[in-house]
């Protein structure tokens, strides 16, 4: 895994039970709650930090008691998030739109949907 790449969110989310929940349609009840590790990495995927910086940050949280499978676990979670297209990788930093950086329920939802349509993130047929 190329640790020099920047990782960024690609999905609208909200918060539930202290974890990220992916908004699967634009109905409050249609979300997918992420597992704790996935939620943590998803929330840190701000487009401004590399995978190496993520790993360094998380190692500090263990205060010298880092599990032996730590790197493999992080890489596995990142791989699963990439495969499900929840996050992406970039050679450069990325400024993410507000509808990706802020929980959906904390946004002006009509304005956010308008921006998503303008950006091509959504198409009219995506709205139910």
Q: Quote the CA–CA distance of 37 and 67 in Å, as a whole number.
A: 14
Residues ≥6 apart with Cβ < 8 Å to 55: 3, 71, 74
Residue whose pair of structure tokens reads 């499978």 in the numeric block: 69
pLDDT of residue 126: 64
Give the confidence band of 33 by pLDDT, cuts at 50, 70, 90: very high
Q: Quote the CA–CA distance of 98 and 112 in Å, as a whole number.
A: 8
Give the confidence band of 114 by pLDDT, cuts at 50, 70, 90: very high
- pTM metric for this prediction: 0.89
């Amino acid at each position: 895994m190329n640790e020099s790449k920047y990782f960024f969110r690609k999905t609208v989310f909200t918060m539930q039970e202290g974890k990220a929940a992916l908004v699967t349609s634009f109905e409050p009840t249609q979300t997918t709650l992420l597992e704790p590790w996935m939620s943590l990495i998803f929330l840190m995927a701000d487009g401004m930090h590399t995978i190496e910086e993520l790993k360094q940050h998380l190692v500090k949280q263990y205060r010298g008691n880092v599990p032996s499978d730590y790197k493999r676990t992080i890489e596995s979670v990142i791989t699963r998030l990439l495969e499900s297209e929840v996050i992406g990788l970039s050679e450069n930093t990325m400024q993410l739109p507000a509808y990706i950086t802020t929980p959906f329920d904390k946004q002006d939802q009509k304005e956010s949907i308008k921006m998503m349509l303008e950006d091509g993130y959504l198409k009219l047929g995506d709205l139910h």
